[in-house]
Chains A and B, each alone.
Chain A
Amino acid sequence: MAINPPEARTLQAPVPAPPLAESAGEPVQQSSLWRDAYRRYLRNKGAVAAGIVFTIILLYCFLIPGFWIIPGIWTTIFDIDPNQVNFAETYLPPSIEHPFGTDQFGRDLWTRVAKGGQLSITIGFAATFAILVIGIAYGSISGFIGGRLDNAMMRFLDALYGLPYLPFAILALAIIGTVNFWTMVIALTIASWFTAARIVRGQVITLKQNDYVRAAQAVGARWHRVLVRHLLPNTLGVLVIFVFLELPNVVLGEAFLSFIGLGINPPDASWGSLASEGREAYRTHPLDLWIPCLFIAALVLCANFIADGLRDALDPRTKET
C-alpha cells in the first residue's frame, strides 16, 4: 500500500548510517508507517487471535460448496445442496455426515450455515463499502471546502446523528419491492453513513493544516489533486479501522432484518434467517439457534478485536494504559 506519492519518496534524502565503529552489522532499516503498524499489530495477542478466527470463519463459509467447487475434493466429500429438502432426515443430531445436524426439512446445517455466512458476510462488506463511499464523498466535500457549506452540511449530520436505521431500511425495502442482495445493501446503507462522513470530515480538516498540503497548494496543485493525492490516502488508516467497526453493525442489522422476516427470501438463508428458523423449535432443538447466533457473535467479536488492534497499531498515541 503506497501511502507516500512516489515523487515524495525520491525527494527523501537517504538515511545516513550512524558512523559508529561497532555498528558494522545490519544497516539501519527504514521503516514505513504500515510496516511499523504491522509489527505493533502482531504484538497484540488478542487482535492476532481474532484475525485468525476471522480468517477461519471466512474460509469455512467460502470454501463450502455452492461457491467454489474444487473438482475431486469438494465435489465428492462435501457436495451437498444447502437447499436440498429430505423429509426422511429431519432434526438429525450432529454426525460425521452432518457436522451441525439437520433442520426441520432435513437440510444439512453445515452447508446452510456456510451458505448463510457467505451471504451475511458479503452483504456486510458490500454495505460497509457503500457506507464508506458515501461517507468519503460527503465528508471530504464538507471538510475540504469548509466555510458555510461545511457548517450547513455538519448541522445536518448533527441533527441526524444516531437516526435508527431500521425504519429507513424497512422503508427502502418497501420501496424497492423485492428483496435480494443489492436491495439489502441499499437498505443497510441508507441511514448508516452519517458516522463515516463525520470521521472523514474530521480527518480531512486535521490533515488540511499540514505543511505538505500547504506546500502542494503553493506549487499550484489543484484542489482535486490535493484532495485525492494528499488528503484521502492519509485517511486510509482511519478508514481501515472504520471498516472493522462498521462491519459488526451491518451484520447485526442484516440479522435483525432477516429475523423479523424482511430479509433474504427462503429457501436461501443468511445467519439471521437461520436463527429465525432455529428459534421456532428452540425447546426441542436448541442447536439450530445456537449455531448461527454463535457465528454472528464470533464474527462481531473478532471484528471488534481487530478494530481495537488496528487502532493501537495505526495510531499509537491513543493506546490505552
Chain B
Amino acid sequence: MAAFIIRRIFWTIPVLLLVIFMIFVMMRQIEGNPFRRTERAVPPAVQANLERKFNLDKPWYMQYLLYVKGVFTLDLGPSLTQTDRDVMDIVKEHFPRSVKLGVFAFMWAIIFGIPAGVIAALRPNTVYDYFLMFFSSIGFALPSFFVATLLIYYFANKLNVVPTNGWPLGFWDVDSRVILPSLALGLYPMAYFARLVRGTMLETMQQDYVRTARAKGLRWKNIVARHVFRNSLIPVVTATAPLFGLVITGTFVIEIIFSIPGIGRYFINSVSSRDYAVVMGITVLTSIVIILANLFVDIAYGFLDPRTRTSRT
C-alpha cells in the first residue's frame, strides 16, 4: 500500500509540471502585452523596471521555472491591473467563498441524491423508482442558470422567503443566502449520485456474495446495509473527483447569477480586464485542486478496494 501511494504521488509531480507548462505556453500565445510600448510615452527606465518586475526580461524557460517556483512557494506574482495586490491575495480572499458554495452544493447532493438512489434501487421499476429517476433526468438536463433563475423568481421574489442574491463573506458564516445558490449548483451532482447509487446497487445485488448472504438466512435489511450499500459507495467515491470539476465549472455561472464575489466571477472579470496574471493563477490553481483531488480519490480507492493496488502500477 505504501508503495502504491508513493508511486501515485511520484507520478503527480511531472503531470503538475506539464500542466503548468501547458497553461504557461497558452498564456504566452495571447495577443497583446500590457507593457507594450504604445502611444503613451513610458520612460525607458520605467519600462525596464516593469519588465524586470514581471520577469519579462528573462528568456521564456527562466520565466517558466520562476513561475513553477512561485507555484510551489504559493507566490503567483503581482496582479496586472490591481497594482497593490498579489494574485495570491486575490485567491485567498475569493477562493474560500467558492469553496463554501461547492461544499454546500455537495451536501445537498449527498443528503438527497444518495437516499434517492437507494430507494429507487430497493424498489426498481415501481412508481417510486420512476418518479425519482424522472427527477434525476430533469436535474441532468436543465441548465443550472435556468434553475437558478426560477429559484430566484419563485422563492426570493414571489414568496420572499430567502434573499435574491449576496453571500455571507466569512468562511464560517452561514445564513439563508446560502440556500438558493448551493441548491442550484447541487442539482446536477444530486441527480448524478441518485443515478450512480441506483445503478451500482442494482448491480451489487446480483453478486454471488449477496446471494450467499440471503441463502444463509440473513435479514434483507442487514444485507442491504452491510453488503450492498457499502460496496455501492465505492463508485460514488471515484465519481467525486470529476464531479468536483463540474461543480467548479458550475460556480462560474452560479456566482454571476447570485452576485457571489467568489473566484469564478473574479476569473471572468479578469478575462474582460485582461489581467492575465490572475487568469493564469486561477487556472493553475483549479488544475492543481483537481489533480490533488484525483490523487486523493485514487488513494482512497486503493484503501476501499484492495484489488486496485496491484493491478494499477
Contact = CB atoms under 8 A, between A and B. Distances in A.
Interface of A: 151, 155-156, 158-168, 170-172, 174-175, 177, 248, 252, 255-256, 259-260, 262, 272, 275-276, 279, 282-283, 286, 289, 293, 296-298, 300-301, 304, 320-321
A14 B313 CA distance: 46
Contact of B253 (A159, A160, A168, A256): A256
Contacts of B267: 167, 170
A301 B124 CA distance: 21
A282 B140 contact: no
B290 A160 contact: yes
A296 B29 CA distance: 33
Given A171-B283, A177-B31, A282-B153, A164 B249 contact: yes
Contacts of B246: 162, 164
A259 B253 contact: yes
Contact of A172 (B26, B206, B249, B253): B26
Contacts of B249: 164-166, 256
A65 to B, nearest CB: 27
A279 B287 contact: no
B223 interface: no
A168 B283 contact: yes
A321 B298 CA distance: 30
Contact of A166 (B11, B27, B252, B290): B252
Contact of B298 (A158, A175, A283): A158
B137 A283 contact: no
B268 interface: yes
A161 B287 CA distance: 10
A273 to B, nearest CB: 12
B271 to A, nearest CB: 6
Contacts of B70: none
Contacts of B12: 159
B145 interface: yes
Nearest to B295: A159
Given A165-B249, A321-B124, A321-B202, A170 B271 contact: yes
Contacts of B282: 167
Given A171-B23, A289-B149, A321-B124, A164 B271 contact: no
The 9 A-B pairs of least Cβ separation, nearest first, read: A162-B242, A162-B245, A159-B15, A293-B146, A300-B141, A297-B141, A164-B245, A166-B249, A155-B11
Given A158-B294, A160-B291, A260-B253, A321 B141 contact: no
B143 A256 contact: yes
Nearest to A272: B143
A73 B298 CA distance: 60
A88 B288 CA distance: 53
7 contacts: A171-B23, A248-B140, A252-B143, A256-B249, A289-B149, A296-B146, A320-B202
Given A163-B245, A256-B249, A301 B11 contact: no
B293 interface: yes
B268 A260 contact: yes
A260 B251 CA distance: 12
B285 to A, nearest CB: 9
Interface centre among A151, A156, A259, A286 (most CB of B within 10 A): A259
A170 B275 CA distance: 13
A172 B282 CA distance: 15
